[in-house]
Chain A
């Protein structure tokens, strides 16, 4: 459970009350009685920071520091309403609006305006702020106690806080304050002017919650019944408990003088410095990262440009006099493929090479004629050399000659030779014909290498 702190300030030494689990406990600050405001704030901060529960407090101010009045706000416009209320309240005060800090509790066209001197509260708030303590709310202690009592007694129409330092009378309408009077003593109350007895019907309608010593207060004249509760020593405790509720955000304070110049900066003010530092560090980190990545990107861009210039240089060297294309790599690849194609190496395998470069018919002619029998005992009448087939026709004086010719051709090992088809001629000799097939396409040694250039 987080502890909540309420700081009671006045001309005496300040008191710090801690509320934890709904129980109030006075905290000794160890500050000297005659210490200045900064020293007091420092001592308070030391206690709060030691507890390591945060540095947000409610500052409870004494009733005699406050001035109040009830003003009619029914005719005020909605825009700049607060400013208008300040000027209306100013008419009832011995202070100018600029020198006071004000807050209002509005109800049914009327507003209870409460103010305090700015010069009295500002040093306290700034001293606390300087000690890293955030004054989240500045509330009259009497109204803090009153709000607590209203919570305990919802039917209360009047709350009377009677303690040695003074008497507070808080008039209520449906649990909301409509007027507030403070008197330094019973005598002052007797001499003072209140609105409590101006409406007898209203006065008799509710219950008075009396906190402290009743003494000789004319309560019966104001209300029909009285409930006594607590004693004067517990006033700060119940005020602190109510302040803790405000810190927890359970309800807004009736009156919060932490307005305008004294406004709390926010719930994160306790860690504002840390957050500022974090934001600055983050900004610096992002800035450095951004600059570094930008610089690195530039280096990469330069590198890419240099490499592209290198490609242009390579292209101009290998393709002189030609316009540099957009895609150098594609153009070079195309040229390489074209040249490989012209050189006979364009994606062809070994089988393709045999098809592309068949043995020349001239080689077969040479091979055939090299084994042709010499002399005039035979003659060829026709030679046909096609891919994979050689056809020979002729005439011979003897039938043995074609047989010998075929045998010699077979002996070369390069051809498969069919037996000669021999027939006798009517007048003289024999005609013959036979076929030879290369055993392998490249079996015959080429007579001349057809190439390739």
Chain B
């Protein structure tokens, strides 16, 4: 190969290598620029989410998380006892009291399920019952959904009632499609 031709080939190879280098560098730059843009977008979104999380934590909850449902179930008996104490109910009434837990049911197409528990009590006055239910449902996740009062049959029971109260609480349990984010 003539020196001139060799020189031309070398120049061409050098230019080709430079072009390849520039192409690689440009592609790398574009890749990093895209990453930086995504990162900026994510950071702004993260800051916004952090504010929302802080705010939501301050607002409290109306529902239990699905992984806390069992805990909530066990908590009900304790909550009833505490409400009973605050309502000045003596220990006798507990002898006729029983709690029956029911299966949770999804509420329409919302991400929530309603978990009912039937509270069966005997021989309570209306005042005792309303006080008990007030303390039980006030400032708590429980709602008195149904109340059935029956006067005991037979002798005069002196304004005492047998009560079946259905208490419910919400469980936040989104379906996979409802839980999809972003």
Q: Residues of A with Cβ closer than 8 Å to B?
A: 263, 265-266, 269, 279, 282-283, 286-287, 289-291, 293-294, 296-298, 300-301, 303-304, 307-308, 310-311, 314-315, 317-318, 328-330, 332-344, 346-348, 352, 355-358, 360-362, 364-366, 369, 379-387, 447-453
Contact = CB atoms under 8 A, between A and B. Distances in A.
A332 B46 contact: yes
B145 A366 contact: no
19 contacts: A296-B33, A300-B36, A307-B40, A318-B54, A328-B42, A332-B50, A333-B182, A342-B172, A344-B61, A346-B111, A347-B111, A347-B178, A355-B108, A356-B62, A365-B147, A384-B147, A450-B137, A450-B143, A451-B140
Contacts of B64: 342
B63 A344 contact: yes
Interface stretch (B19-27, B85-93, B94-102): B19-27
Contacts of A290: 18, 21-22, 25
B170 A344 contact: yes
A451 B59 CA distance: 11
B156 to A, nearest CB: 10
Given A332-B50, A343-B59, A369-B126, A380 B138 contact: no
Contact of B172 (A303, A341, A383, A447): A341
Contacts of A265: 4
B62 A300 contact: no
A329 B49 contact: yes
Interface residues of B, number: 74
Given A334-B181, A337-B174, A337-B181, 14 more contacts: A291-B25, A329-B182, A332-B46, A338-B172, A340-B56, A341-B112, A342-B65, A343-B62, A356-B62, A362-B147, A383-B147, A384-B147, A387-B145, A452-B141
Nearest to A301: B32
A447 B147 contact: no
Interface string B134-165: 10011111111111111100000000000001
A294 B137 contact: no
Contact of B49 (A283, A287, A336): A336
A296 B29 contact: yes
Interface in B15-74: 15, 18-19, 21-22, 25-26, 28-29, 31-33, 35-36, 38-40, 42-43, 45-47, 49-50, 52-54, 56-57, 59-65
B41 to A, nearest CB: 9
In the complex, the 10 A-B pairs of residues with the closest C-beta atoms, listed nearest first = A453-B60, A297-B29, A300-B32, A307-B39, A342-B61, A339-B56, A341-B172, A286-B18, A332-B49, A383-B149
A357 B111 CA distance: 14
Contacts of B32: 297-298, 300-301, 304
Nearest to A345: B56
Contacts of A335: 49, 53
Given A332-B53, A343-B62, A347-B178, A304 B147 contact: no
A179 B42 CA distance: 88
A11 B3 CA distance: 32
B103 interface: no
Nearest to A307: B39
Nearest to B167: A361
A453 B58 CA distance: 10
Contact of A361 (B63, B141, B147): B147
Contacts of A338: 65, 172
B56 A310 contact: no
B14 interface: yes
A336 B147 contact: no
Nearest to A289: B22
Given A329-B46, A330-B182, A348-B110, A283 B144 contact: no
Nearest to A303: B36
Contacts of A358: 143, 145
| Interface-central residue, A310, A338, A361, by most chain B CB under 10 Å | A361
Contacts of B15: 279, 282-283, 286
A6 B174 CA distance: 94
A283 B18 contact: yes
Contacts of A387: 145-146
Contact of B53 (A297, A304, A318, A355): A318
Contact of A336 (B43, B52, B59, B146): B52
Contacts of A342: 56, 61-65, 172
A381 B107 CA distance: 33
A82 to B, nearest CB: 14
A358 B38 CA distance: 44
A449 B134 CA distance: 9
A451 B5 CA distance: 89
A70 to B, nearest CB: 29
A78 B29 CA distance: 55
B82 to A, nearest CB: 16
A329 B45 contact: yes
B28 A294 contact: yes
Nearest to A284: B18
Nearest to A269: B4
A58 B35 CA distance: 62
B9 interface: no
Given A290-B18, A318-B53, A361 B146 contact: yes
B179 interface: yes
B72 to A, nearest CB: 12
B46 A283 contact: no
Contacts of B178: 346-347
